[in-house]
Amino acid sequence: WVLMVTAQTPTNIAVIKYWGKRDDSTLILPVNDSISVTLDPNHLCTTNTVAVSPIFQQDRMWLNANEISLSGGRFQSCLREIRSHACDVEDKKKGIKITKEDWSKLYLHIASYNNFPTAAGLASSAAGFACLVYALGKLMNVKEDESQLSAIARQGSGSACRSLYGGFVKWVMGKEENGSDSLAVQLADEKHWDDLVIVIAVVSSRQKETSSTSGMRETVETSLLLQHRAKEVVPKRILQMEQAIRNRDFPSFSRLTCADSNQFHAVCLDTSPPIFYMNDTSHRIISIVEKWNRSEEAPQVAYTFDAGPNAVLIARDRKAAALLIQRLLYYFPPSSDDLNSYIIGDNSIA
Ligand code: DP6
């Protein structure tokens, strides 16, 4: 017999960034809280099918049909944790009965598929680990809720914990050394602010040179600005951002999102040796948006950049999104090599 579960999880984009771990443990515990929006599953998402069968000889995983190694510590942490929460499963029709104890002796096969280029620097690990943990949780009849599952996904990749929920999500850094209180909570669901439209301008689909994991390690070791950011700036910004989301206050949301992206990249520059994630095209996009926002009575678009040059642009409504695309096409005509493509999330927060 084979028992299977399929799940789909979208990626998320942080508007108040996570950057820096507070220790070297494999638990992945951040130096500050962060807030993200989860994208529409039709756009950037991972689909995972997880299967268990007594004939499987070892845990195996395929990503977009190519087998990948499961030997990494992060995969092992997630698999170990989720197995430790597994419960009895019974499928009377198929005559299958798996007890809690059986799970440690049974092997898993995992088929994972991204509907976007994996190496495009578009937060594939966030959707990937969230989906893995969620699908395994369903297969193994794990009783923990999304928040508790998020603490397991966190051990795969920090930002993954925020993809267990739709809408606006906060990753609460927590205080406990064992990480039990470092988990995601939903601030507002996907219907709360559905005017927003996310446009991702793909500046480069090359894999980033400095991974988030090693980049943030170097920042923690060398940047003084990070201490100031984590202790003085982010705690206040988190409260202001929660209020902006609650009130659907786009001017405040936009101001905080852009400022936090810029400070995150400033902290990268303050790292020794400095880390450059944005390039000239990213900087041009910032100038275009800043100039446009200033020429209007109220901001139309917010920008944010993760650990790469691609721009995530959040338009206040569909009209602003249409005007944004028009502007981008004007500054980066299809013949230009600077922008590869746009991924447009219609009604994108889900
Ligand atoms: C810039 O979650 O990829 O996207 O925990 O080491 O796997 P690890 O890092 P990761 O870092 C994401 C950093 C970011 C900001 C964010 O998503 O909050």
- Looking from the CA of residue 28, the nearest atom of ligand 1 is 5
Q: Enumerate the H helices of 101-169 as residue ranges.
A: 124-139, 146-153
* For ligand 1, atom 4: residue with the closest CA: 306
Q: Looking at the DSSP assignment, which residues form a beta bridge with residue 10?
A: 45
Distance 118 CA to ligand 1 centre (A): 15
Write out the two tokens for 319.
Answer: 């009209």
pLDDT in tens, 289-304: 999 999 999 999 999 9
Residues (pLDDT < 70) of the chain are 117-124, 207, 340-350
Angle at 198 between CA 235 and CA 173, to 5 degrees: 25
Mean pLDDT of the chain: 92
- Residue 336: predicted pLDDT: 75
User: CB under 6 Å to ligand 1: residues?
Assistant: 14, 17-19, 28, 34, 125, 157-159, 212-213, 306-307
DSSP 233: I
Cα–Cα distance measured from residue 111 to residue 50, given in angstroms and rounded to the nearest whole number: 6
Q: What is the pLDDT of residue 349?
A: 38
Q: First vs last Cα of the chain: how many Å apart?
A: 35
For the CA of 264, the nearest atom of ligand 1: 1
Reference 323, options 312, 332, 315, 331; nearest CA is 315
What is the Å distance from ligand 1's center to 16 Cα?
11
Decide if the complex's ipTM is over 0.85.
yes
Can you tell me which atom of ligand 1 is nearest the CA of 18?
A: 18
**CA 334 to ligand 1 centroid distance, Å:** 31
CA 159 to ligand 1: nearest atom: 2
- Least Cα distance to 275 among 201, 226, 216, 335 occurs for 216
The Cα 176–Cα 293 span in angstroms is: 42
